[in-house]
């Protein structure tokens, strides 16, 4: 978790592809919480992770609010998307949900996060085209990083 937040603070905050796309892969932390995790602990982790990223990027609570929203949504969404015969402490991933199952789960949570992040950040619609381009390009970049991190985690877990 700390490595992901540190990468966001040191590397990802300074990437702005074509002036629009900014990766926000610290949402990947919330994608990893197992099924049986207490809701308050997910909310606390989302709040703290968002707060740490906000402090370093000077974004005044935007990441904190978006991460807390996604942390609130994560448990019921995971419950809806897991197989019915899943174990109680199942951790979402390629190995437990399959590629397409995890793809849908990560897609929805990442999309909700990016929409919330940009709505909280902009809070107006004076430049709707710029807003949509920034939001969609950041979503694609963030989603790409989340899938890449999961592929690396899956590869490392199968090599053991």
Token pair belonging to 53: 């990223």
What is the average per-residue pLDDT within 103-117? 95
Cα separation, 22 vs 58, whole angstroms? 15
Reply yes or no on whether the pLDDT at 18 is more than 90: no
Tell me phi and psi for residue 17, to 5 degrees. -65, 125
Give the CA radius of gyration of the chain. 15
Reply yes or no on whether the pLDDT at 123 is more than 90: no
Confidence tier at 59 by pLDDT (50, 70, 90): confident
Q: What is the pLDDT of residue 16?
A: 73
Q: What is the pTM of this model?
A: 0.89
Q: Per-domain residue ranges for the chain?
A: 2-10+22-158
Token pair belonging to 104: 């849908």
Q: What is the pLDDT of residue 33?
A: 92
| Alpha-carbon distances of 48 from 7, 20, 25, 82, 137, rounded to whole Å | 16, 26, 15, 27, 26
Report yes or no: 50 and 66 within 8 Å, Cβ to Cβ: yes
């Amino acid at each position: 978790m700390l490595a992901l937040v540190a990468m966001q603070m040191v590397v990802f905050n300074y990437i702005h592809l074509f002036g629009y796309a900014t990766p926000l892969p610290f949402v990947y932390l919330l994608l990893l919480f197992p099924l049986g995790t207490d809701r308050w602990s997910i909310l606390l982790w989302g709040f703290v992770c968002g707060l740490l990223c906000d402090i370093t990027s000077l974004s005044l609570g935007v990441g904190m609010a978006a991460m807390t929203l996604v942390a609130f949504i994560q448990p019921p969404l995971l419950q809806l998307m897991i197989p019915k015969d899943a174990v109680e402490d199942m951790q979402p991933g390629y190995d437990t949900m399959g590629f397409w199952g995890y793809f849908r789960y990560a897609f929805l949570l990442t999309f909700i996060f990016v929409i919330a992040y940009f709505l909280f950040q902009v809070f107006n619609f004076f430049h709707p085209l710029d807003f949509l381009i920034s939001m969609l390009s950041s979503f694609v970049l963030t989603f790409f990083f989340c899938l890449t991190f999961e592929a690396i985690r899956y590869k490392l877990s199968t090599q053991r």
